Amino acid sequence: MSIGMVVAPQPEPVEVGAEVLRSGGNAVDAAVATALTQTVVDPFMCGIAGFGSMHLYLPSIGRHLCLDFHARAPGAVTDGMWADLLEEEAEDGFGFILKGRVNEIGYQAIATPETLRALDTALARFGTRSLADLLRPAIAFARDGYMVRPHMHRFWTQEEPAGRVQHIEYLRGSPATARTYLNADGGLKTPGAVIKNPDMARTLERIAGDGAGDFYEGAIAREIAADMARGGGLISIEDLAACGPEETQPLWTGYRGLRVASCPPPGGGIMVLQMLNILENFDLAGMGHNSPDYIRTVAEAMKIATVDKDRSVGDPRFVDVPVARLLDKGYAADCAARIKAGEVTHVPRVGRDKESKDTTHLCVVDQAGNCVSLTHSLGMPSGVTTDGLGFIYNGCMGVFDPRPGQVGSLAPGKARFTSMAPTILFDGDAPRFIVGAPGGTYIAMGVLQAILNHVDFGMDAQQAVSAPRFSATSDIIEIVNRIPRAVEAELNGRGYRTRRYPINFHFAGVHAIRLMNGVPDGGADPGRDGMAMAV
């Protein structure tokens, strides 16, 4: 291969990653540089104090692995500490609403900050550049500024149903956050306005000089721990020192003659593979793309996988996840038979609707054929910035189940389920389709549909991520405005409840690279602000 490519939801990081490839860096170098820049220019979607999953296929050194860096509950938590605060569960399964919103915003919402350590580890093990070198573009954007993009502004102004904290509150989450992201009068900056973050530039310069260890065990770590103590947070200096990614093996299945690899639990790859196993039993192409039969069939597979996830999938360190059963082709055939018989799966929920799109993604392939699919996130931003440090902490505690004895219940050191599903399809031993997405519980559903669009309907990467999507993580089939009303009416006539959204691109922000005969073409979700760039 002589062509490399970077795809991401933000133009600035794509340019940075492409320049790394152009100057001789490999896919891991480019992915780390892209991700670091994303933490600056999309600070409510991701951050150095976030979490994620990196799927690496590195034929140049004979390695294929996942580097998972899931945020974990601090050592100070107890399983019942929030039990009496529960108001309701989100309709789509993304988190719980508590009295006082203590799990959503503020210091108690913060779980362990894993992203920086993971990026540094990936670079040290598989990259060729130094962390200091790859931090330079991120430092420059923090110091010199970047523009507010349309999707960023839309996120800030998005109305949240079900009593969730409105997104504007993330910007008001601490005085340091407000100073950076709001105007002096407290109003929102508009698209095109320039944001400068000199505090973050200085923090990244300190990390470039002293290494990522300073963030976890050195002077920065002590500043973080002191601020957590002042603010009533749960993160301790011991929690910071224990941060670090875990190398795992991808999960596998086959779909229409292709081999599919995705991340293991507590990531969402298991859902993508389970749904593909179920849907392989249907002639989807014969149904027609986004026909009533197609949407009904795929939606039922989505609901079955959602119910199984809610019952059984969590952190394998704490939960015995029945991976073999959930990915068994015989079980998938039984599920398909239920769908063919007209059975409608019910998704139990106590609550109403919420999703979290506070996540980002990138795909990279280099000139040697090394591939990286990386999803990283803040979960939901806590809104907290330590004065003088400049970065926003994750808000991952919001997804833990406050009820003791559940798959997702609180426990020290436990990670909660995430729908992140960085996935790679192979034709034999050759990578064919690299895909992933941000989008809360919609991630697995968006990734699934991009795969179906490519494999069953022959779409290239841009077509596959641009086609109208739908989602069913509850008893409601949610659809974008480009799905015809006649199709919706037929679904309603079959007894399905639907919810139409006024926007045309929704249900995750899917990004992909297709490789045909070794030549890449990229697809950036039109609902975000990003692009694909070849090198």
Separation CA 152–CA 154 (nearest Å):
5
- Residue 503's CB is within 10 A of a number of other CB atoms, namely 11
Separation CA 320–CA 226 (nearest Å):
36
Report how far apart, in Å, the C-alpha atoms of 63 and of each of 126, 247, 249 are: 10, 12, 10
In the three-class reduction of DSSP (H, G, I as helix; E, B as strand; rest coil), residue 51 is classed as: strand
**Under 8 Å CB-to-CB from 254, ≥6 apart: which residues?**
260
In the three-class reduction of DSSP (H, G, I as helix; E, B as strand; rest coil), residue 172 is classed as: coil
Contact 419, 448 (CB under 8 A): no
Contact 410, 88 (CB under 8 A): no
Contact 159, 166 (CB under 8 A): yes
Active centre residues (catalytic):
359
Contact 149, 38 (CB under 8 A): no
Contact 380, 94 (CB under 8 A): no
The alpha carbon dihedral of 234, 105, 48, 406 has a sign of positive
DSSP string for 69-112: E--B--TT--TTTTGGGEEEE-TTSS-EEEGGGTTTSSGGG---
The alpha carbon dihedral of 142, 28, 67, 530 has a sign of positive
- Cα–Cα–Cα angle for 491, 492, 496, nearest 5°? 80
- Residue 495's CB is within 10 A of a number of other CB atoms, namely 8
- Joined together, the tokens standing for residue 183 give 């105007």
Report how far apart, in Å, the C-alpha atoms of 142 and of each of 7, 200, 220, 489 are: 21, 6, 18, 49
